[in-house]
């Protein structure tokens, strides 16, 4: 079974802190994604990576950056956390074709205080 693991289930950080959310997949998938999920807004794509060191901005990249140094790991970085970044963050991975589904991690509930 595909496994996508996010490093934390719950995280509380202070405003202005640099925050790292880590995601690891074990299926050699080319594509990895970071979303944030807020009530009434669905899943919004922050960034996705289609290969090692390759990335594309999603719909809401402002305030975030990403890193993909190894194929299995995709990190989301909040350079200076703000309260409006309090949200559920979901990581996903998939093969790099249009006809393959994405597999999701369990999510990280981030609260910025």
**Contact between 91 and 7 (Cβ < 8 Å):** no
Considering the complex, state which of residue 85 and residue 94 has its C-beta at the smaller distance from another protein: 94
**Could you give phi then psi for residue 107, rounded to 5 degrees?**
95, 150
Question: Is residue 5 near another protein by the rule CB under 8 A?
Answer: no
- Please state the closest distance from residue 93 (CB atom) to another protein, in A: 10
Question: Is residue 61 near another protein by the rule CB under 8 A?
Answer: no
Contacting range for another protein; rule: CB under 8 A; set: 19-27, 62-70, 76-84, 88-96: 88-96
- Please state the closest distance from residue 88 (CB atom) to another protein, in A: 8
């Amino acid at each position: 079974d595909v496994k996508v693991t996010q490093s934390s289930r719950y995280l509380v950080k202070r405003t202005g802190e640099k925050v790292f959310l880590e995601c690891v997949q074990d299926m050699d998938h080319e594509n990895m994604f970071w979303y944030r999920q807020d009530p009434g807004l669905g899943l919004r794509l922050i960034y996705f990576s289609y290969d090692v060191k390759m990335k594309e901005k999603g719909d809401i990249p402002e305030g975030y950056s990403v890193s993909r140094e190894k194929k299995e790991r995709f990190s989301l970085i909040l350079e200076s956390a703000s309260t409006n970044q309090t949200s559920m963050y979901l990581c996903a991975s998939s093969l790099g074709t249009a006809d393959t589904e994405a597999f999701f991690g369990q999510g990280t509930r981030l609260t910025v205080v």
